[in-house]
Structure 1
Amino acid sequence: MNRFKHNWLICRSVAEVTYKEWSAYRTHSLVSVIVGPVYFMVQYFIWTAVYGGQATLGGMDLHQMIRYFGATALIGYLIMDFADWNLSMLVRTGKFLTFHLRPVHHRSFALYQKLGHRALGFLFEFLPCLLIFILIFGIDMRPASFPWTLVSVMLAFLMNFYVNYTIGLTSFWLVQSGGIRSAFMLVSGIFSGALIPLDFFPHWLQVTQLFLPFQYIAYMPAMVFTGHYSLGGLELSIPEAVAMQGVAVLVMFGLCELVRRRAMKQFTAVGA
């Protein structure tokens, strides 16, 4: 119990400091309030034209499609992560040494930072865009099940963090992981479902996504939001889908831990 309380105090302190630090740059978040709705508006016009007079596409009608993209946009604000870039910078400059000597595990520290950063994003990005989607676009943004959607978004938050942190760990071998980071962002943008629902991909590619981390970052929480999940011929109830997402997060955590331990053997404090 004392250890849990100690970790909680560290988590709260790091999150609060990060929140205050990034509050000085909250105009950056306000830019997202413009970019998000513009991107959504583009998607709205594109899919309205694609549907034409058709009732459904990929098992979704136009109303469901609009809600899906509204959900992915809002979820993106909640789970946005920069752990890979930050870790790469620390390794490249040698500043990781200061974290390596601290009693707090750097991965935990980075996670606590993300909590503070996304708390700011919730206030200055998520809530304004939610109001814009509801009041201006007239979109029904009520989730099919708020508790399950909340759990799914939390799991997506962790999945995105562990994946990005693992990408950042490659810096211990490459020093500069910018190329891998850029390639991953491109692949993730396509196969996470943020640009197009995964139902539109070929069947074999949909099945492949069940074993990759991308769909658990955006597609699955968005489908949990809409109340129906199916991919690659697999249809699951919302509790089953969230359970599968939880297992995927545990697997990703295990992979991240394996890479981290190997990375620590490579650590030479370059630039320190």
Structure 2
Amino acid sequence: MRQQFAIIRAIGFVTYKEWAAFRSHMLASLFVGPVLFLVQVFIWQAMFEGKDIINGLTFAQMLTYYGVATLIHYVTFDFADWNLQMLVRSGKFVTFALRPLPHWLFALAQKIGHRSLALGVEVLPVLLLFIFLFQVDLMPAAPGWATASILLSFMMSFFINYCVGLTAFWIVRAEGVRRVFLLLKDICAGVFLPLSFFPEVVQKILFFLPFQFITYLPTRVFIGDYELAGISLSLAQAVGLQAIAVVLTGCVTLLLYHAALKRFTGVGV
């Protein structure tokens, strides 16, 4: 266990240094994120005209929702799906299949290193921009629960994206499937619209899907309350439910990974 932790730390550090040399690739986020947020400000200003609350959220809470959702996206951004599909399609995955460290753990270490760099290059500048330029309240209601929820969101995002990448073992040209799935994932996660704005029947379906645990739930935990499909949970209950969902999704990821390795070996034979 200690040796694996040292390997993960080394991979994360190398990834950090590698991307630090090309950190200008991340600077586009300093423009894209705030511009998209500004669009949301204009939209919701019009929606809240003459209204104090919409679906249980005030205008200030709505801005906080989108501000936190944007920052969570920066923290949890993942490219494991694209990277894995490229390795499988090019045949380079065979080098990882022969290594003692499973590729999913290697990919997780890469993500940790990549997102560690993003904390200073993307998250902090945009956070300050939201606070001082847009006057958004980004003080979590319960810092401990908010931090735990964002860390769980980090893991959930990785597991789901890695599962998408594993489809390359069954579908060689999986780029189309990947793009459609990731779009649906963002919709079902509450990136474009809080899930509480969907019809009740849709909310009930979304409640049992894993996607809400990437954006919607950690954002609501950050704000200080959680409600979906008529179900209200305390912060402890919401984070506990998220932890269970992450463990289950992780188990599914490992099962798919081992099934993919058997298929990869079978093709090689």
Q: How does 1:1-272 map to 2 (within 5 A)?
A: 3=1, 5-268=2-265
Provide the C-alpha distance between the structure 2 equivalents of 1:268 and 1:103, rounded to a whole number of angstroms.
16
Aligned letter for 2:142? Answer: S
In the aligned structure 2, how far is the partner of 1:148 from the partner of 1:39?
27
Q: Deviations over 1:191-241 (max 9, x none)?
A: 111100001101011011111111110000000000000000100000000
Structure 2: gaps (5+ residues): none
CA–CA separation in structure 2 for the residues paired with 1:140 and 1:231: 23
Shift of 1:139: 1.2
Superposed structure 1 runs of 4+ greater than 3 Å apart: 268-271
Q: Secondary structure at the match of 1:81?
A: coil
AA partner of residue 62 (structure 1): F
Distance (whole Å) between structure 1 residues aligned to residue 19 and residue 174 of structure 2: 24
TM-superposed deviation, 1:270: 7.4
Distance 1:106 1:265 in 2: 14
TM-score with structure 2 setting the length: 0.97
Structure 1 94/142 Cα, relative in aligned 2: closer, same or farther at 3 Å? same
Q: Return closer, same or farther for 1:197/1:267 CA change in 2, 3 Å cut-off.
A: same
Q: How many residues align?
A: 268
Partner SS for 1:142: coil
Gaps of 5+ in 1: none
% identity of equivalent residues: 47
Name the CA distance, whole Å, in 2 between partners of 1:200 and 1:192: 12
Q: Provide the TM-score with structure 1 as the length reference.
A: 0.96
**SS of match in other structure, 1:267:** helix
Cα distance, 1:10 vs structure 2:
0.7
Shift of 1:176: 2.1
Distance in 2 separating the partners of 1:110 and 1:38: 30
